[in-house]
Amino acid sequence: MNEAENKKDLPTPAAKDIKTAVSENQEQKKEIGGKLDKLNASLVGGTPVNTSKDIPKISRPNPPSQTLDNNPSKVQSFMEGKFANSTIKPLRTYRTDVEEAVQNKKESVTTIALAEHRRRESRGGTEGKYKKALFAQNSLIIFLITALVITGIGSLFIFIYAKSQEQKAVSTFYKKTIIPADREIVIDTGEGLSTLIQDSLKTVSLERGDIAFLKIVSGGEDLTASGVISVLSPSTPAHLLRSFKDYMFGILSGDKNNLFILIKTDSFETGFSGMLEWEKTIVKDLGPFFFETATSTQNRFEDTIVKNKDTRVVRNARREILFIYAFLDRETILISGTTTVFDDILNRYFNSKLVQ
């Protein structure tokens, strides 16, 4: 009985360990308290104490980890609480403006929606007017461009058409005249050809610079070049007459009416040699058409240059040219009475060739 009671009074091994730990803890507290007193004394005015060696480090247990809840409602609540007292204002949106208007101005959502609708209508009206003005401006520009294009095409068409008609008319006229003429005068050889030509020179009325074509006929039939020249100058060399294939007797109006003769030959060699032989009688036969018979001449041809052309001329006693002829090209002979007429007909001839 006593042994059992004694055994109950004896401490167990676990109780002994607890008591030992308590006592050791009390001793550590005393030791730490003494060191803190020394440290306090040193801070107040005593000797500094190196606490890094005397004070043991006390480790603290890490707080238990918490699981982050990603629920949107909890995150939103957390953020609202986090920035409740913050000075940074959140981003302003149309929704926040509406909420403030409802809270501060006591406006309803309906009035705000109505105001927004009116604002959009006014902006739409302005944009509509701008679009209409821009459309009108673009339409005007397109209309002007189209009108210019149509006008240009029309003008080009009219120009081409007029040019073709002009060329057609000129081509038609060239079939019967070597150079263009402004008038046509018919002369019938039955009444004396030489007299009729001289009368035409005196009586034909023309604008200055105009040309009249003398169409010579016999019994209603056009005379050939050889037929006309043989009538006016019977002493013309026969081989020269045979080389003539076309001719033009014309009157050029200036200070007075001036006669000129254009003759086409089919052989330059025959025409050149025949003209040199014809010089013996040509001034006597054709001279009255170009100068007065009373005018004294030497009746002698000489070479001279007129407008870069080799010409044969007859001069009077004062060295004035009374008669002139030259080959304009290898098939065309021009006969006139002055260098002025010669120059004018020469230019018209080469211009007519450019048109052809």
pLDDT in tens, 306-317: 988 999 999 988
Q: Residues 63-100: pLDDT tens digits?
A: 555 555 555 555 556 565 655 555 555 555 656 665 66
Which pLDDT value is given to residue 348? 94
Task: Write the CA distances from 8 to 21, 87, 258, integer angstroms.
Answer: 22, 70, 177
- For residues 256 and 164, the model is more confident at 256
More confident residue, 272 or 307: 272
How far out from the chain centre does Cα 181 lie? 43
- DSSP, residue by residue, 116-184: HHHHHHHHHHHHHHHHHHHHHHHHHHHHHHHHHHHHHHHHHHHHHHHHHHHHHHHHHHHTT-SS--SEE
Task: Inform me whether the pLDDT recorded for 329 exceeds 90.
Answer: yes
When mean pLDDT is compared over 71-75, 111-115, 141-145, 265-269, the highest value belongs to 265-269
Is 239 strand, coil or helix?
Answer: helix
How much is the pLDDT for 174? Answer: 41
pLDDT at 292: 72
Write b or e for each residue in 152-171: b if 16 or more Cβ atoms lie within 10 A of its Cβ, otherwise e. eeeeeeeeeeeeeeeeeeee
What 3-state class would DSSP assign to 50? coil
Q: Do 257 and 209 meet the contact criterion of CB atoms below 8 Å apart?
A: no
Beta-ladder partners of 215: 186
85-115 burial, b at 16+ Cβ within 10 Å, e below that, comes to: eeeeeeeeeeeeeeeebeeeeeeeeeebeee
The per-residue pLDDT for 240 is 95
> What pLDDT sits at residue 245?
93
Can you give the length of the chain in residues? 356
Find the mean pLDDT for residues 152-166.
78
The average confidence (pLDDT) of the chain is 77
Query: 255 vs 195, 208, 337, 341, CA distance in Å?
Result: 22, 8, 14, 11
pLDDT of res. 352: 87
Residue 255 in this model has a pLDDT that exceeds 60: yes
Quote the pLDDT of residue 178: 92
**Torsion angle of C-alpha atoms 99, 101, 103, 109, degrees rounded to 10:** -70
Q: Please tell me what DSSP assigns to residue 288.
A: G
Amino acid at 268: F
Residue 189: what pLDDT?
Answer: 79
pLDDT at 30 over 60: yes
- Residue spans of the domains in the chain: they are 87-175, 178-355
pTM, to two decimals:
0.52
Q: What 8-state DSSP symbol labels residue 65?
A: P
Distance (Å, whole) CA 102 – CA 309? 108
Distance from C-alpha of 328 to C-alpha of 230, rounded to nearest angstrom = 22
Average pLDDT over residues 142-146: 89
pLDDT tens digits along 160-213: 877 666 554 444 444 468 999 999 999 887 668 888 898 989 999 999 999 999
* Nearest one of 100, 90, 94 to 119, comparing CA atoms: 94
8 A C-beta contact, residue 242 and residue 226: yes
pLDDT of residue 271: 95
Two tokens at 205? 């009325």
The larger pLDDT score, comparing residue 86 to residue 38, is at 38
Average pLDDT of 47-65?
A: 52
DSSP-based helix, strand, coil % in the chain, nearest 5: 55, 20, 25
Q: How far apart are CA 84 and CA 207, in angstroms?
A: 110
pLDDT of 341 reads: 95
Q: Which amino acid is at 73?
A: S
Report the pLDDT averaged over residues 30-58.
58
Residue 153, CA distances (Å) to 146, 160, 321, 346 in order? 11, 10, 53, 37
In contact, 246 and 177? CB cutoff 8 Å:
no
Four-residue CA torsion sign, 330, 333, 339, 345: negative
